[in-house]
Amino acid sequence: MEKTKINSKRFEGKVAIVTASTQGIGFGIAERLGLEGAAVVISSRKQKNVDEAVQKLKVRGIQVLGVVCHVSNAQQRKNLIEKTVQKYGKIDVVVSNAAANPSAESILNTQESVLDKLWEINVKASILLLQDAAPHLQKGSSVILISSIAGYHPQASMAMYGVTKTALLGLTKALAAEMAPDTRVNCIAPGFVPTHFAEFITGNEALRKSIEGKTLLNRLGTTGDMASAAAFLASDDASYITGETLIVAGGIPSRL
């Protein structure tokens, strides 16, 4: 994330969990919430990645706890919540950011095991994580699901991934109704952001130029762009917003 000066402290005294947060968009969101005063709990599958990310955040003066968590592992999900509650006693913000890499196969050629993996990590894990977190969420808490612009227009090269991201739009609406009025649930649909996750797209110069041309702002997104949107939705500045999806895609066509 760009090292911008953050003057706001909207998350002072708050505890935020961000999954898949040792790099890319997840790390950017965790860093932003931390710079605004939150105690952040970061996680990903590898201990080495967790340790390195914790150090980067500590250097910036952020209060941080790192926990290894593969979101499709029930025991590791429970451990993530338990460690958070043991250390901080509560949860105010949950950002569900973990996603499986897209399959390049067409939907009708996708193996069942791949369909299961995409569904399990991109949709089901968010639900199961929130089942564990819900008893500890405070009044006025906020949940953010990370979808994708691909949820509105699943591209041929990542069609099934796009469909799982479409499911998150509906899940946002359903959870917002179920968790109201004490917890707000919103969603962010990022456009194309050059991260390790999206390397197969953004690493291709011609493809990159073509995507930039589809935006109105003539550039790809940054992790900082996504972090700013997440910080807004998670904060009391968005206290009258729930059940909504904020598209952060530089004006790439999405919907009317």
Annotated catalytic residues are 161
Of 84, 116, 111, residue with least CA distance to 17: 84
| DSSP SS3 for 162 | helix
* Distance between CA atoms of residues 7 and 79, nearest Å: 33
Spell out the long-range contacts of 173-182 with Cβ–Cβ below 8 A and sequence spacing 24 or more.
173/243, 175/130, 175/143, 176/242, 176/243, 177/243, 179/134, 179/137, 179/143, 180/242, 182/137, 182/138, 182/139, 182/140, 182/141
126 contact partners, CB below 8 Å, separation of at least 6: 71, 96, 98, 145, 168, 171
186 contact partners, CB below 8 Å, separation of at least 6: 142, 143, 144, 145, 172, 176, 233, 238, 241, 242, 243, 244, 245, 246
Q: Are 141 and 182 in contact (CB under 8 A)?
A: yes
* Distance between CA atoms of residues 190 and 25, nearest Å: 9
